Amino acid sequence: MTERNRTMMQFFEWHLANDGDHWNRLAMLAPELKKHGIDSVWIPPAAKAITQADNGYGIYDGYDLGEFDQKGTVRTKYGTKDELLKGIDACHEEGISVYADVVMNHKAGADETEVFHVIEVHPDNRYEEISDPFEIEGWTRFHFPGRQGEYSDFTWHFYHFNGTDYNAAEDETGVYRILGDHKHWNEQVDDEFGNYDYLMFANIDYYHPEVRDEMMHWGKWFAETTRADGYRLDAIKHINHEFIADFIAEMREEFGEEFYLVGEFWNPDLEACQNYLDIVDYQIDLFDVPLHYNFHEASHAGKDYDLRGIFKNTLVGTHPDHAVTFVDNHDSQPHEALESWVEDWFKPLAYALILLRQDGFPCVFYGDYVGINGDHPIAGKKELLDPLMDARYRYAYGEQHDYFDHGNTIGWVRLGDLDIPGSGCAVVLSNGDDGHKRMFTGEHRAGEVWIDITSNIPGEVHIDSEGYGDFPVIGGTVSVFIKQD
């Protein structure tokens, strides 16, 4: 029996309101998401952060999910622990898996300062020392007074970290490598800036055995407590790759092979992504960052972009079983750290390219679906995306025939699957002028009438006696044709 297509939603964007109501929204919207074929959601970091308004990436206490009075608040930006658990339960009732965003690269908002020795390094080359050893006062002491040892009595000191960026004694910032026995940058990290172990705040040292043990314990505690079905691992190009491989192995041993893991390895270079998959023995999926940048380029180049190369040098092109395809996310949205926003006109085309093809595990962005808040709001595109998501769930099955034979107008056909009645679709898109594609739908389709579920093309396409149809498209749009009931 053919399984239905999987579709993930990233259930947040960077500028969600700090109203503590997001876990309630998750519970409320779960039935609607399931109706449109969403069978998994990636939720934002649930642990207590440096402030209530923080999105969770400035993580303070991984064991506080909105339960303890810490950092001036009990709830997180998204709600309380009880609301989180209810939101996850609501998803599970709908058959939706929940993947939690886990932040393991750093800690922020320490409870006290400590005095220790460092060497300052050049921010553009972390191997270049630009000072002699000297003493600083850094925010590295975490003892979580509001939690008082509940769930874990582990406390953090400067020697559990290998870098920080602020000297409180002199009110100065820099990239400071912490000194001590066996204390150096982790070597198994991305080589940008010479060594990209250090990213921000107090950088966790995964060479320290106490740290490794504690983070393994936390990873198991979090999944047991929340009943999450998997993890989205944040910023893994900055974390010791060997630790990530061990972490994956321990989570799978504890929770089974079905425990899902996907990593954010933000590097547009395909070879770097492939090398990372080699290191972790293909036990994880990666977000297809190279494909995202192809979409970004295509959206800005317009008709000058050759769509025949849209999947060139992408993970989905070389490792489709390990590629989570996406159009945009919270980091790429306007005015954020990795801004590379795909222009609105190209969004439906890009979503068709990830949702309606046989390869990859597509992820729909909440900011595209519901909208983006903040000083520069962007309206959601639910009305545009629902037909594409519905088409993925109901029609995009079976053998795939590609018609990538024109630089501006491309198409493909999914021939359908007998296990899914009514399945099969024809997709055609253009980044230039109006066009059309003559495409084969199957000899058994002769005489059928097909219509465009996007409503961009109002007429009908009649399948001829040989099983071919001539499928039109309006320039700058996508059309998805299915058999008329």
Active site residue 234: yes
Active site residue 264: yes
Distance CA 428, CA 476 (A): 11
For 263, residues 6+ apart whose C-beta sits below 8 A from its C-beta are 232, 233, 236, 244, 276, 280, 284, 285, 286, 287
Which of 264, 336, 343, 464 is the catalytic position?
A: 264
Which of 234, 328, 390, 452 is the catalytic position?
A: 234
Query: Residue 215 in contact with residue 250, Cβ under 8 Å?
Result: no
8-state DSSP, 142: B
Residues known to be catalytic: 234, 264
